[in-house]
Amino acid sequence: MSEIKICCPPGNTATGYAAQYLTEAGMAVSDKLYSDTTHLLLPVPTRSFDHLPEGVVIIGGNLHCLPGYETIDLLKDAQYLAENAAITARCAINLIGKDLNGLPVLILGWGRIGKCLGKFLGDAGARVTIAARKETDVAMIRALGYGGVFIDQVSPMLPEFGAVLNTVPAMVLPAFRCTPDCVLLELASRPGMAGDNIIRASGLPAKYAPEESGTLIARRLLAILKEDRK
């Protein structure tokens, strides 16, 4: 991979750690574009596409709006998504700010982040209930030892919980009532809870675990580049 030359623009802490990891792995990395730059590393997810150079491979996340470019979209990489979900879950748990032992916690959603939250919170001693839409998901949640409920049935139960964490990127709780000290964490890319005192906490890995996030970006990029050259 010696002919690959990656530009990692400054300004993002997580991609800065990724650049450091890639450099230590022997990759040619700079913070400026040169005529022989082959790849451009952008933050994951990527929120801006201004002034992209032509003729380079764009690395980032949510790159479906870049026709005409070759891309490496890490948000389409199953291993990246799985490991990033675990980082997100650990960051979210730190934001709860309460003693987790015995704490009744409701998780909305049974996707990657919801599964990780259930495991980590259960390991910490929390009393975990997980809400899902599908009957098969609720059955699996209960089979794993969690409290399992259907999302459309949770509203009357909310005063029972000390923390509610939403992972569903659609409005599932447009109106609800919790106890005043209940911690409400919104982890989805689009809001699933409407109301006051909700902590908007999307994009946690880059904010609260930038080194771990950057290392994951670099590791998966190296694996993808190696696989592409087979």
Tell me, what's the pLDDT at 104?
98
CA–CA dist 18, 218 (Å, integer) = 5
Tell me, what's the pLDDT at 50?
78
Judge contact between 62 and 169, C-beta under 8 A.
Answer: no
Instruction: For domain 84-196, give the CATH number.
Output: 3.40.50.720
Tell me, what's the pLDDT at 64?
86
174 contact partners, CB below 8 Å, separation of at least 6: 194
Tell me, what's the pLDDT at 51?
82
Q: Cα separations (Å) of 161 from 35, 64, 91, 100, 170?
A: 57, 39, 20, 12, 21
Per-residue pLDDT of the chain (230 residues; tens, 9 = 90+): 559 999 999 999 999 999 999 999 999 999 999 999 999 999 999 988 878 889 999 999 999 888 889 999 999 999 999 999 999 999 999 999 999 999 999 999 999 999 999 999 999 999 999 999 999 999 999 999 999 999 999 999 999 999 999 999 999 998 888 999 999 999 998 899 998 889 999 889 999 999 999 999 999 999 999 987 65
CA–CA dist 12, 130 (Å, integer) = 34
- Domain extent listing, the chain: 5-76+209-228, 84-196
Tell me, what's the pLDDT at 65?
85
Judge contact between 16 and 10, C-beta under 8 A.
Answer: yes
Tell me, what's the pLDDT at 71?
96
Enter the pTM of the model: 0.92
Tell me, what's the pLDDT at 47?
86
CA–CA dist 51, 13 (Å, integer) = 21
Tell me, what's the pLDDT at 101?
98
Judge contact between 66 and 58, C-beta under 8 A.
Answer: yes
Tell me, what's the pLDDT at 49?
80
Q: Does residue 67 have a cis bond before it (omega within 30 degrees)?
A: no
**Cα dihedral sign, 202-204-206-212:** negative
